[in-house]
Amino acid sequence: MALLKCSAGVIAAATSNNLPPPPAASERVEIRICVNRTCRRQGSMDALETLSGIAPAGVSVTSCGCLGRCGSGPNLAVLPGGAAVSHCGTAARAAQVVEALFGRGSDPGVNLEALALRRKAEAEVESGRVSEAEALLSQAIELKPSGGLHFIYKCRSVARLKMGDASGALEDATEASRIAPDYPSGDAYLAMEEWGAAEEAYSRALLVDPSIRRSKSFKVQFITFT
């Protein structure tokens, strides 16, 4: 089997169907997708956004430099193991990769449908139509996608909090944290005056993404603890 040299390390050439084999249950998986000029023109940024939205909890999706085979891009690498996947420039192709890695026979279209519902719900929240957003997110949860479910619960927690349903928001925040402990949400805990849980959630969120310290919403919440 040929090997490719790249900024992500040494990756193995793809299998015959150009989809990666499922990882071992104990492995922490990272998906790196090239966003260099050629792959970017071929749609790698859209694939990166889709993969980030439908990957299961605990799977890291990041951009990287050139993986070679630019004529077959966009290309991505799955670590550990180093399987290379080419022609990953569409949402459907990204969903196929996630299904091959984690789906265990699930329909790749389910993840995309759930992602589309979440994106629509996020737009509804931005427009102040939180009841509509809550309904859309409930539909997405009922689909039982194999990835991205923690994002959906977190988004519904936000919608329910804006609706004044603090207990429902707390339930969703708790479920999101159960699925993905690295991505907690402290807002619902704060609304329920669960001060200790809220402080812990915000502290863990900072560990995941220190840049949120600069956001206006975080500064408003941080005042509560100072």
User: Distance (Å, rounded) from C-alpha 123 to C-alpha 129?
Assistant: 9
pLDDT at residue 188 in the model: 64
> Which pairs with CB-CB distance under 8 Å and at least 24 residues apart come from 166-170?
166/191, 166/192, 167/192, 170/194
pLDDT at residue 105 in the model: 61
Look up residue 143 and give its two tokens.
């689909």
User: Distance (Å, rounded) from C-alpha 2 to C-alpha 120?
Assistant: 43
Look up residue 118 and give its two tokens.
């979440």
pLDDT 10s per residue in the chain (226 long)? Answer: 233 333 333 333 333 345 555 555 556 789 999 999 999 999 999 999 999 999 888 888 999 999 888 888 899 988 887 788 888 888 888 888 888 887 666 678 899 999 999 999 999 999 999 999 999 999 999 999 988 999 999 899 989 989 999 889 889 988 988 888 765 566 666 665 666 766 666 666 666 555 545 444 444 454 444 5
User: Distance (Å, rounded) from C-alpha 174 to C-alpha 46?
Assistant: 30
pLDDT at residue 14 in the model: 39
Look up residue 171 and give its two tokens.
């339930």
User: Distance (Å, rounded) from C-alpha 166 to C-alpha 96?
Assistant: 37
pLDDT at residue 223 in the model: 44
Tell me, rounded to whole angstroms, the distance of Cα 217 from its chain centroid: 21
pLDDT at residue 222 in the model: 47
pLDDT at residue 4 in the model: 33
Please, are residues 47 and 93 in contact by the beta-carbon 8 Å criterion? yes
Say which residue the tokens 């790749």 belong to: 108
User: Distance (Å, rounded) from C-alpha 159 to C-alpha 153?
Assistant: 10
pLDDT at residue 212 in the model: 46
Please, are residues 74 and 44 in contact by the beta-carbon 8 Å criterion? yes
Quickly list H helices, 33-100: 37-41, 44-54, 91-98
Backbone angles phi, psi at 167, to 5 degrees: -70, -40
Please, are residues 111 and 99 in contact by the beta-carbon 8 Å criterion? yes
